[in-house]
A and B are shown apart, each in its own frame.
Chain A
Amino acid sequence: DAKTTQPNSMESNEEEPVHLPCNHSTISGTDYIHWYRQLPSQGPEYVIHGLTSNVNNRMASLAIAEDRKSSTLILHRATLRDAAVYYCILRDTASARQLTFGSGTQLTVLP
Chain B
Amino acid sequence: DTEVTQTPKHLVMGMTNKKSLKCEQHMGHRAMYWYKQKAKKPPELMFVYSYEKLSINESVPSRFSPECPNSSLLNLHLHALQPEDSALYLCASRSQGTNEKLFFGSGTQLSVL
Size category of the B interface is 20 to 34
CB distance from A38 to the nearest CB of B (A): 8
Residues of chain B within 8 A of A87, CB atoms compared? 42
Stretch in A14-22, A43-51, A60-68, A69-77 with 4+ CB within 8 Å of B: A43-51
A-B Cβ contacts below 8 A, count? 45
Is A44 within 8 A of B100, CB to CB? no
Within 8 A of A (CB), among B84-103: 90, 92, 98, 100-103
* In the complex, B12 has a CB within 8 A of chain A: no
Is B45 within 8 A of A100, CB to CB? yes
Is B104 within 8 A of A45, CB to CB? yes
Sample of 8 A–B contacts (CB below 8 Å): A42-B107, A43-B4, A43-B104, A43-B106, A44-B43, A46-B103, A51-B98, A99-B45
What would 5 more interface pairs be, CB under 8 Å, given A43-B104, A49-B101, A100-B45? A32-B98, A44-B92, A44-B104, A45-B104, A98-B45
